Amino acid sequence: MLTEYQKANRVNISHELLDRVSVDENFFKTNVIRDETWVYVYDVQTKAQSSQRLGQGSPRPKKARMTRSNMKVMLLVFFHWQGIIHHQFIPRGQTVNKEFFVADLKRLTEAVRQKKPQLWKNQSWVLHHDNAPAHSSFLVRNFLTKNETTVVAQPSYYPDLYPADFFLFPMLKSTLKGRRFDTIDEIQKYSTNDLFVILKEAFQKTFQSWQKSWERCVASEGNYFEGDKLE
């Protein structure tokens, strides 16, 4: 349940982003989105994946109850409208604090310089990330200011408004659910492979859906619509 303030915040930022798109036709092409997620050595199948077609009168098959494994690793991703720019797996035991985030931003800026030289040359790329406390620390803000990196506003309570949450991570995890891996190295290998086979067209379509999500947020007066289709 969202408070009136939270809904108003979602609407205001959605309006702000829609205004930016209306005056800058290249807005989506300059956005670099950052987020992280856990990937598991074993994650349970969805109901759709585990369903079986039965003949009329056939008894329902019995299945052992499966649970998600405790063995996992955190995947960090930077991506934009053409695909992945930078990814890495965070070492076990590493705290994702402000110092880590600054080091991470240094890796990102180098990745942009090497892989997207036009964005780097024009200093036209903008960063879009969530509202974790480390991201708003003085250390991080000072680094971004010194490097003239613009940060795009992002409301709290946002999974339906954030491409990492309504597109990239669900798509990646759908390919991993129900597959069992023996080691962290294996899950890193296969999740990386699955990450990089996502088509460029899928990323581009998602950025178009992103604008639709802002429009829906405004139309719904800030109400939450996770799980609804954006198309």
pLDDT beyond 80 at 67:
no
Sign of the torsion formed by the C-alpha atoms of 206, 212, 213 and 214: positive
Residue (of 105, 111, 90) closest to 139 by Cα position: 105
Which pLDDT does position 189 carry in this prediction?
94
Using one digit for the tens of pLDDT, what is the confidence trace for 6-60? 999 999 999 999 999 999 989 999 999 999 999 998 876 554 444 444 455 555 5
Mean local confidence (pLDDT), 86-100: 89
Q: Which amino acid is located at 207 in the chain? A: F
Mean local confidence (pLDDT), 136-151: 90
pLDDT beyond 60 at 61:
no
pLDDT beyond 50 at 193:
yes
Secondary structure class of 151 (helix, strand, coil): strand
Which pLDDT does position 178 carry in this prediction?
83
Which pLDDT does position 136 carry in this prediction?
83
pLDDT beyond 90 at 231:
no
Secondary structure class of 50 (helix, strand, coil): helix
Which pLDDT does position 185 carry in this prediction?
93
User: Which comes out higher in pLDDT, residue 162 or 19?
Assistant: 19
Mean local confidence (pLDDT), 120-146: 86
Domains of the chain and any CATH numbers: 4-46+65-219 (3.30.420.10)
Which pLDDT does position 45 carry in this prediction?
58
Task: Detail the DSSP E strand segments found in 23-170.
Answer: 31-40, 72-80, 83-90, 126-128, 150-151
For residues 194 and 176, is the Cβ–Cβ distance under 8 A?
yes
Mean local confidence (pLDDT), 89-118: 89
Look at 8-22, 34-48, 176-190, 192-206 and tell me which has the smallest mean pLDDT: 34-48
Residue with tokens 């480390």: 134
pLDDT beyond 50 at 106:
yes
Mean local confidence (pLDDT), 136-164: 86
Which distant-in-sequence residues (6+ apart) come within 8 Å of 108 by Cβ? 32, 34, 78, 85, 86, 127
- Rounded Cα distance, 41 and 176, in Å: 9
Mean local confidence (pLDDT), 86-110: 90
Q: What percent of the chain has pLDDT over 70?
A: 85
For residues 219 and 15, is the Cβ–Cβ distance under 8 A?
no
Which pLDDT does position 68 carry in this prediction?
61
